[in-house]
Amino acid sequence: MWSAPRHGRASSGWIRLEGAVVRKPSTNRAKPMQPLPAEQTQARRFGKARSARSTAVLEDYVELISDLLGTTGEARPTDIARRLGVSHPTAIDTIARLKREDLVTARPYRGVFLTEKGETLAKRVRARHRLVVDVLLALGVPQEAAEADAEGIEHHVSDVTLKAFAEFLRDAKDRRKA
């Protein structure tokens, strides 16, 4: 047999509805629900998020490959897999996708190298990442959290927002000088 929660009054917040005991609907909403945006507006927003998720993986790989090439001189699939926390077959599959997108070249036993298109993308992704990290740091977010959070934000932020971030940082720098 069911018994009401022991905290507060035994029946507080609970009602019997068609033989079942359920929580009462809340009657004290903090603020009313916002109306839904127009269908095309909402579809565009969701489409942008799906597109960002689709390209986020490629961007992460290209950025990491560039970093590995710059620091160790080589980007091996094994190192890529370990650093991204994915299996070796997953890394191989994604590298094949990068090849199809003309972002990398790879030869057996030679590692992975960025094409000109891949290098351009890596530079853009790295700049976007740095900008997002710098904004988060300016807001008082600790370094490690800012780096981790930027990994997700950097793929979903629009050019308009990036421009606003850059202006925010410029204004903050100008205020410190004054």
Report residue 53's pLDDT band, with 50, 70 and 90 as the boundaries. confident
- Residue 140 belongs to domain with CATH number: 1.10.60.10
The predicted structure's pLDDT at residue 8? 47
Report residue 39's pLDDT band, with 50, 70 and 90 as the boundaries. confident
Supply the range of the domain harboring residue 95.
52-115
Span of 29-33, 95-99, 149-153, 173-177 with lowest mean pLDDT: 29-33
Q: Which residue has the higher pLDDT, 104 or 17?
A: 104
47 pLDDT more than 60: yes
The predicted structure's pLDDT at residue 1? 47
Q: Kindly state whether residue 28 falls inside one of the protein's structural domains.
A: no
Q: Kindly state whether residue 41 falls inside one of the protein's structural domains.
A: no
The predicted structure's pLDDT at residue 17? 61
Pick from 115, 134, 154: which residue ends a domain?
115
pLDDT, average across residues 19-35: 67
Span of 48-57, 99-108, 112-121 with lowest mean pLDDT: 48-57
CA 35 remoteness from chain centre: 27
Looking at the 3D structure of the chain, how many domains does it have? 2
Q: How far apart are CA 132 and CA 88, in angstroms?
A: 30
Report residue 19's pLDDT band, with 50, 70 and 90 as the boundaries. low
Q: Which residue has the higher pLDDT, 172 or 18?
A: 172
Average pLDDT, rounded, for the chain: 85
The predicted structure's pLDDT at residue 32? 72
Q: Do 93 and 146 belong to one domain?
A: no
**Residue 137 contacts residue 146 (beta carbons within 8 Å):** yes
Q: Do 101 and 151 belong to one domain?
A: no
Span of 92-101, 131-140, 150-159 with lowest mean pLDDT: 150-159
CA-angle at 99, arms to 90 and 84, nearest 5°? 35
> Which of 158, 141, 137 is CA-nearest to residue 44?
158
Q: Do 96 and 134 belong to one domain?
A: no
